[in-house]
Amino acid sequence: MCADKFRGTATALEVGAAVASAVEAVGSEAIVQPMADGGEGTLEAFGGPNRTTTVAGPLGDPVAAEWAIRDGRAVIEMARASGLLLAGGAEGNDPMEASTAGTGQLIAAAAEAGATQILVGLGGSATTDGGLGALRAMAPLPRYRGVDIDVACDVRTLFVDAAAVFGPQKGASDAQVGLLQRRIDRLAQVYRDEHGVDVLELERAGAAGGLGGGLAAIGATLHDGFSLIADAVGLYDQIEMSDLVITGEGRLDESSFAGKVVGGVTDLADAAGVPVVAVVGQATVAAPIPVVDLTERYGERAMTDTAAAISDAAAALLSDQLWR
């Protein structure tokens, strides 16, 4: 079982546990590997948090942000320090003031704890500061020499498009989007002058309101989030050992097969020659694999008792062998 979260109703770990209960009920063994594409849930894919650091939230209020470090690799979910939900959603956010400083403080804490690799998952941010807040909080920057900073991005948006694409989602008016755009343009010049890196045409640099570009300017490597996480947790090897792969997410749409978890899992399962099915909260597009739509099958229960609905759907899949 390797699913993404069902946003707002079940974490990836809860989804996996629900499927595992159905699999184990028929006497089979389940391998549960929570997955993410760089957004919320990235920490779960790596075993969950084992550290908490108080940092500046997106609007400056202190936030107790969880993160993890194991065997020299730190994992940071920027949404836990600079996330839109921490700002009260788009309605409570101040898009002009929201800062990635807290994420930078987590990266600094990871370096101080001795991490030699820092994996930063981008997604769910409140910010469009181009990463400037994070870079200031990370100072002095020379301490990251010898530290690999790998950034898991859930979009491929360019730095120059960060304000127009994501600003409205974070509460920015049309006028504020224009101001944020000018800020992004100026920062691109600053990063070019100070770090010798042109982030304007760099794929994924616009992720998290430009935080991807800010980190790239100081030497971080930007990756497609699913691929980076899948490689790090050895997902292909786990799939290859399986008779059936069950994946899923809250909403199956046109983006699901364009770098997201369901599409990525499907590609790996196809390469391994293992059948794959998806259990989703709701499907809005046709898919190239069998799909169980929980809303279609269970109605309101899909939202009010998601874990039980997922377990029942998995039991039906196993008994009916719909995946054959």
pLDDT tens figures, 176-205: 999 999 999 999 999 999 999 999 989 999
The 3-state DSSP class for residue 220 equals coil
Type of residue found at 132: L
Average pLDDT (125-145) is 97
Judge whether 96 and 176 are in contact, CB under 8 Å. yes
Residue 40: per-residue pLDDT: 87
Contact 29, 47 (CB under 8 A): no
Do the Cβ atoms of 17 and 29 come closer than 8 Å? no
pLDDT range class, residue 166, cuts 50, 70, 90: very high
List strand residue ranges (DSSP E) for the chain, in order: 51-56, 62-70, 73-77, 117-121, 148-153, 221-224, 245-252, 276-283, 291-293
Query: Where residue 323 falls among pLDDT bands split at 50, 70, 90?
Result: very low
CA angle 263–75–189, rounded 5-degree value: 85
Helices (H), 26-77: 42-45
For 35, the enclosing helix (H) or strand (E) is none
User: Could you tell me the pTM of the whole model?
Assistant: 0.93
Q: Which long-range contacts (CB under 8 A, 24 or more apart) does 175-181 make?
A: 176/95, 176/96, 179/96, 180/95, 180/96, 180/128
Q: Go through the domains of the chain in sequence order and give each one's CATH number.
A: 12-31+242-320 (3.40.50.10350), 42-226 (3.90.1510.10)
What distance in Å separates the CA atoms of residue 165 and residue 182, rounded to the nearest whole number?
14
Q: Per-residue pLDDT tens for 244-285? A: 999 999 999 988 998 899 999 999 999 999 999 999 999 999
CB 247 within 8 Å of CB 267: no
Cis amide linkage into residue 290, ω under 30° from 0: no
- Judged against a pLDDT cut of 90, whether residue 212 lies above it is answered with yes
Residue 88 neighbours by CB under 8 Å, 6+ apart: none
Q: What is the Cα–Cα distance from 305 to 284, expressed in whole angstroms?
A: 21
Contact between residue 27 and residue 319 where contact means Cβ atoms under 8 Å apart: no
Separation of alpha carbons 160 and 213, rounded Å: 10
What pLDDT score does 321 carry?
55
What digits encode the pLDDT tens for the residues 27-73? 989 999 999 999 889 999 999 999 999 999 999 999 999 999 999 99
pLDDT at 7: 87
Mean pLDDT across the chain: 95
Mean pLDDT (whole number) for 170-178: 97
- The β-bridge partners of 121 are 77, 152
What stretches of 75-218 show up as alpha helix (H) in DSSP?
79-82, 89-92, 101-112, 132-138, 162-166, 174-195, 207-217
Q: How many CB atoms lie within 10 A of CB 29?
A: 9
Which range, 93-102, 247-256, 296-305, has the best average confidence (pLDDT)? 93-102
Going from the C-alpha of 311 to that of each of 161, 256, 301, 317, 318, the distances in angstroms are 41, 22, 12, 10, 11
